[in-house]
Amino acid sequence: MTERRGPGPDGAPRVLLVDPYVAREDPMERKFVELYPSLGLLTLGAFLRGQGCEVEIVDLTFARDARVVTTRLRAFRPDLVGVHTKTLTQTRAIEVAERARAEGAFVVAGGPDSATRPETYLEAGFDAVVPGEGEGALTDLARSVRRGEGARGIAGVTTRVEGRLVRGPGRPFLRDLDALPLPAWDLVDMEEYLGRWERSTGERRAAVLTSRGCPFDCSWCSKPTFGRTFRQQSPERVVAELSALRERYRVNYVRFCDDVFGVSRAWIDRLLTLLLEQHLDLRWECLARVDLLKPDLLRRMRSTGLERVYVGVESGSQKMLDLMNRGTRLAHVERTAEALRREGIRQFWFLMLGYPGETLEDIEQTLRLFRRFSPEEYSVSIAVPVPGTRFHESVKDRLTGRAASSRKAGGRALLYEAAYPEVLYRWEQARFGLEAALGKARARLSPRVAERIGRVADRFHTEVAAPLLTGKRPPAHAPP
């Protein structure tokens, strides 16, 4: 191992930020993951530069492996290496830390996974973790490391001293998101991302974030970095960012990445007005709640280029929505699904199976709702109890101990002892797959054939699969 760098001469701290996600290692990438550079790192990079730091980003998304990190470390000689973490990329993040330490750099983790379990990263060799909003904490840390003073006592930074976790004082959230500089797109290879989008869709797509946090409180939702706070940029600031993307990168399609887009009606009305006035000629998509998407709003959104909406429908059973503390009604789902169809906006439904309290009848209700509206796209996952959530708390004595970091765990594996065995949920997922295929067949081929296949499949489910997979016989065959 090389000697750790001592305090440098006066001058700017050097910070190397790393996104350890390697797309080619991700079996789900082609099917499910839409590739955009990390907005967290782009924002941190811009902020640090504004504070006088020298910054580079190593984005491993299109790399073969992490070797390039060492090359860049040797060329740039940073004081500090900051690694973005997600559960999925934990192993690569730790490898990056090892490479950084071998070159004598101080290494810090940030992002959702290290926020949930800082001890894992500190034990694996990271010098520090920033478990919350990163801008202020990372700037202070970079300056302190540059001065040779380390991480202790810095607000918003967690370290380990003699094997013990030591949390620095709390740090207030940034109040004015408009004060943040535009993301430092020039620090990553934007053309690689945009070119890929252009080749696959004909559009140059980029991700934009207009707010931080979410004011709602769904029981299974993990909000490790921004908690229940909710702050948003002004519509004017959002339009300035969109214009910059349009002018500098010829972006013509935007994905708004907010947890919930359009929480405030007045805010979104103003944004839509600006989009029309400025003739940005963008098409766009967002994730929103069914209770917020009123039909008149959807019509306006459509007129400004809205193409696709992701909605968390989650369940077709009101009982389950209430247990999840979703705060939505089935009537909202129906109204929104109808309005989306009427306006010709693609709908992507998120559905969840296996939440505590769910019975086979609740799953049937979800399937019936799905059948009724046939959304163009959907994802049906098995509920994942994420540490720090009320859901996790309620099942923590029934966890199976399987790793949440494997790809399979991403909504396809059962991580706690639920009402039914995993195989039942996998079977139910397959039924949604069949239903989606039949939905398409109904629209394009023969409704009668689709209807008949559906009936046979339902009968097979009730009479054979469900009893077999749950170990329970159907009522008609129940023993006396």
**Contacts to ligand B12 from residues 190-229, by CB under 6 A:** 207, 209, 222, 225
Choose, by CB under 6 A, the member of 13, 45, 78, 111 that binds ligand B12: 111
Q: Which does 217 bind (CB under 5 to 8 A by kind): ligand B12, ligand SF4, none?
A: ligand SF4
Applying CB under 6 A, does 94 fall inside the site for ligand B12? no
CA distance 251 to 222: 31
Applying CB under 6 A, does 337 fall inside the site for ligand SF4? no
Choose, by CB under 6 A, the member of 130, 218, 238, 271 that binds ligand SF4: 218
**Contacts to ligand SF4 from residues 303-332, by CB under 6 A:** 312
Choose, by CB under 6 A, the member of 49, 77, 86, 319 that binds ligand B12: 86
Contact criterion met (CB below 8 Å) for 328 and 295: no
Applying CB under 6 A, does 217 fall inside the site for ligand SF4? yes
CA distance 299 to 302: 5
Applying CB under 6 A, does 73 fall inside the site for ligand SF4? no
DSSP one-letter code for 224: T
DSSP one-letter code for 156: T
CA distance 220 to 390: 6
Q: Which does 371 bind (CB under 5 to 8 A by kind): ligand SF4, ligand B12, none?
A: none
Q: Which stretch binds ligand SF4 (CB under 6 A): 176-184, 210-218, 242-250, 472-480?
A: 210-218
Applying CB under 6 A, does 118 fall inside the site for ligand B12? no
Applying CB under 6 A, does 377 fall inside the site for ligand SF4? no
CA distance 94 to 156: 21
Q: Which stretch binds ligand B12 (CB under 6 A): 78-86, 142-150, 346-354, 423-431?
A: 78-86
Give the H or E element holding residue 231: strand 230-232
* CB-based closest residue to ligand B12: 110
Applying CB under 6 A, does 332 fall inside the site for ligand B12? no
With b for 16 or more beta-carbon neighbours within 10 A and e for fewer, the 241-280 pattern comes to bbeebbeeeebbbbbbbbbbbbbeeebbebbbebbeeeeb
Measured CA angle at 473 (ends 467, 476), to 5 deg: 120
Contact criterion met (CB below 8 Å) for 311 and 288: yes
Applying CB under 6 A, does 337 fall inside the site for ligand B12? no
CA distance 374 to 191: 36
Measured in degrees and rounded to the nearest 5, phi and psi for residue 56 equal -130, 155
Q: Which does 84 bind (CB under 5 to 8 A by kind): ligand B12, ligand SF4, none?
A: ligand B12
Q: Which residue has the tokens 């620090």?
A: 187
Name the token pair of 134: 């990163």
- What residues line the site for ligand SF4 (CB under 6 A)? 214, 216-218, 221, 259-260, 289, 312
- What residues line the site for ligand B12 (CB under 6 A)? 21, 28, 32-34, 36-41, 43-44, 82-84, 86-88, 108-113, 116, 130, 133-135, 138, 207, 209, 222, 225, 257, 259, 410
